[in-house]
Amino acid sequence: MKRINHKLVAIFLIILICLPFWRYLAFSKKNGVSDLTNMNSKSCGECHSSNPSPNVIISLQADSDLNNIPPQTRIKFTLTANLPNAKVSGIDVAVKNQVNGTQNVGTLTPETNSGLKILNGEITHSSPINCSNSQITYNFYWTAPQTEGSYFLQGAVLMGNGNGKEDSGDIWNWLQPVELKVKTTSNVENNGESKNKSILYL
């Protein structure tokens, strides 16, 4: 009678138990991520290409002057990213109390029917979003807090090859931190006018 290899049985049972969890992790990342905006972290590099790439070109446009934001003002942001031959894209964007901070500030809101959602107070994708001519455009809003101060919008954008796998063929880059200065009306420059469009190339 053959002896049972208990080590092999134990390993098999561990794999069997963990398999649904691993599948859940892979599935959940396709359906959005958070806490990847810290530039001291691996961010998208945990599953995709190891390092950020300047080949992913990101630009950000806002409908208000980001140096003069009255408290509780709602600002629309349009983020555009492109990479040759990109098929799909994903995103994680947050506004923090400091660069690479951990505390979310204000309220982010995705544009309706944009394919975006809120996860742990951050903007992310509901599922991989198809690119158009190797480019993606994301629209979202941020409502400033009541408290004056300087806050920082930052994030990461992934441009994928669309093969359905998480691999090194998916290229990403940082959305460099953008300072958002919230000031009360009495402290706002230019006589309180904060409607001049601000375009930032990152």
Residue 121 covered by a domain: yes
Residue 1 covered by a domain: no
Which CATH number characterizes residue 156's domain?
2.60.40.4060
Residue 76 covered by a domain: yes
Range of the domain at 172: 6-201
Number of H helices, E strands in the chain: 1, 11
pLDDT in 10s for each residue of the chain, 202 residues: 455 565 654 554 443 443 343 333 333 356 767 667 776 665 554 555 457 889 999 999 999 999 999 999 999 999 999 999 999 999 999 999 999 888 999 999 999 999 999 999 999 988 888 999 999 999 999 999 999 999 999 999 999 888 877 777 788 898 999 999 999 876 655 544 444 455 554 5
Residue 105 covered by a domain: yes
Cα dihedral 148, 146, 74, 60 in deg (nearest 10) = 30
Q: Provide the whole-model pTM.
A: 0.75
Beta bridge partners of 137: 80
